[in-house]
């Protein structure tokens, strides 16, 4: 069977091989990008779905508008307003997870050979998603304050990309937070180069101490002309439940209309059953307490992981303590003649009973093979300490 040419652009085996090993009994996994199911507000979602089926079964079980279920669009508008971004219901469409928002951006915008700038490293599924539509990805370097805007500007000037894709807040995998100053700079670059910025923001609500700076979307009011050059992807997956598959895309009207047209032929619309449930949940007012709880638990786990890493691995690795999100991003230093290859480290870690993801596949180009990602989301503090101790043994075994 001859498959479509676009499939030649993607390569998915890199992490898959490692994930096969995760089934090993007793393994402690820092590998996933999943929230902890113990934190799902099952009771609240039960009430929400029950209310949806009691009060609006006809709509919740029927075909719906491709743009999204209107009560949910309204709730999501309010949710965004609570985060400082003024978004009318008609300025967003509901997507089947924010993965679909990325897919629709690709489908709507990318012609074969178009250049797209992403962070190095960036979300793995974004790389593959955009490549499937024929994008040539350019990798912009990051540091502890997020993407380096000086380098980003050079790349924008040189490559004239179709758009720039960023995860400014607690990015996957980097965990870093783009500084306020650089956020403003990114918006200025959008205007200066008349280039669309795609802001992916699934983690912004998961902060541990002070809230992060406003999203690019919320800040766009301060940079004239930038709002129309901004697409924003949101998601309930990390804060409420991935299983609902509720994401959203905010963009200027023409782009939103084209994305809606593409969505019509992708899946007609997102499950109205899930949308009505999410709308009832948001309306029910439990979200602030849910977020507070999730933040607290993840903050404890992140602190425990940071302390354990410093204790058990010392100067063999370097990392920034994340201020939110789900991930540590670390680099093997090779100190004292130690290991520098994170792929090799991952294999030995599995032998010691702990899993994580090597960093190389997260780079669209110029992969740094000494990097790796650790998620602290699904293991409790005791498991985190035991898992990091195993990491220490794996490194010592090297």
Residues 174-213 that bind its own copies (CB under 8 A): 196
Closer CB to its own copies, 19 or 289, in the complex: 19
- Least distance CB 129 / its own copies (angstroms): 4
Bridge partners (DSSP) of residue 249 are 93, 233
Q: Site residues for its own copies, window 304-363 (CB under 8 A)?
A: none
Contact of 124 with 15, CB cutoff 8 Å? yes
Q: Tokens standing for 385? A: 């300490």
Bridge partners (DSSP) of residue 143 are 146
Closer CB to its own copies, 102 or 216, in the complex: 102
Residue range at the interface with its own copies (CB under 8 A); choices 43-51, 86-94, 150-158, 327-335? 43-51
Rounded to an integer, what distance in angstroms lies between the CA atom of residue 238 and that of residue 294?
9
- Least distance CB 253 / its own copies (angstroms): 11
- 220 lies in the site for its own copies, by CB under 8 A: no
Rounded to an integer, what distance in angstroms lies between the CA atom of residue 343 and that of residue 352?
14
For residue 115, give the 3-state DSSP assignment.
strand
- Least distance CB 359 / its own copies (angstroms): 20
Angle 202-206-208 from CA coordinates, rounded to 5°? 155
Name the helix (H) or strand (E) containing 95. Answer: strand 92-96
Closer CB to its own copies, 12 or 318, in the complex: 12
According to CB under 8 A, which one of 149, 270, 352, 375 is a site residue for its own copies? 270
For residue 299, give the 3-state DSSP assignment.
helix
For residue 153, give the 3-state DSSP assignment.
helix
Q: Which of 259, 181, 195, 257 is nearest to 226 (CA)?
A: 195
- 215 lies in the site for its own copies, by CB under 8 A: no
Site string for its own copies, 100-119 (x = CB under 8 A): x-xx---xxxxxx-x-----
- 261 lies in the site for its own copies, by CB under 8 A: yes
- 12 lies in the site for its own copies, by CB under 8 A: yes
According to CB under 8 A, which one of 73, 162, 348, 390 is a site residue for its own copies? 162
Count the site residues for its own copies by CB under 8 A: 74
């Amino acid at each position: 069977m001859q498959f479509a040419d676009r499939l030649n652009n993607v390569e998915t085996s890199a992490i898959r091989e490692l994930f096969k090993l995760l089934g090993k009994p007793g393994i402690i996994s820092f590998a996933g990008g999943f929230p902890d199911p113990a934190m799902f507000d099952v009771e609240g979602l039960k009430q929400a779905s029950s209310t949806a089926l009691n009060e609006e079964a006809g709509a919740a079980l029927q075909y719906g508008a491709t743009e999204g279920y209107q009560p949910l669009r309204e709730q999501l508008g309010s949710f965004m307003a609570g985060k400082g971004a003024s978004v009318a219901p008609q300025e967003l469409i509901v997507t089947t997870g924010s993965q679909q928002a990325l897919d629709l951006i690709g489908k709507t915008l990318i012609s074969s050979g178009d250049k797209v700038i992403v962070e190095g490293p960036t979300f793995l599924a974004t790389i593959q998603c955009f490549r499937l539509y024929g994008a040539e990805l350019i990798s912009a370097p990051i540091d502890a304050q997020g993407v380096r805007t000086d380098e980003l500007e050079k790349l924008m000037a040189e490559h004239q990309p179709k758009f720039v894709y960023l995860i400014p807040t607690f990015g996957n995998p980097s965990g870093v937070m783009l500084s306020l100053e650089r956020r403003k700079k990114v918006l200025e670059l959008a205007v200066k180069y008349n280039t669309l910025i795609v802001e992916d923001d699934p983690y912004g609500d998961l902060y541990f101490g002070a809230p992060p700076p406003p999203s690019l979307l919320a800040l766009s009011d301060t940079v004239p002309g930038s709002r129309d050059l901004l697409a924003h992807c949101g998601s309930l997956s990390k804060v409420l439940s991935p299983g609902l598959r509720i994401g959203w895309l905010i963009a200027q009207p023409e782009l939103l209309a084209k994305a809606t047209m593409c969505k019509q032929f992708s899946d007609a619309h997102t499950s109205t059953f899930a949308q009505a449930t999410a709308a009832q949940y948001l309306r029910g007012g439990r979200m602030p307490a849910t977020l507070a709880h999730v933040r607290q638990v993840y903050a404890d786990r992140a602190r425990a992981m940071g302390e354990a890493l410093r204790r058990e691995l010392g100067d063999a690795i370097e990392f920034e303590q994340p201020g939110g999100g789900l991930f540590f991003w670390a680099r093997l230093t090779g100190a004292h003649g130690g290991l520098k290859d994170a792929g090799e480290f991952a294999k030995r870690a599995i032998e010691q009973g702990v899993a994580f993801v090597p960093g190389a596949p997260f780079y669209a180009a110029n992969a740094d093979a000494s990097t790796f990602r650790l998620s602290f989301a699904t293991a409790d503090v005791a498991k985190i300490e035991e898992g990091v101790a195993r990491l220490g043994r794996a490194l010592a075994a090297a």
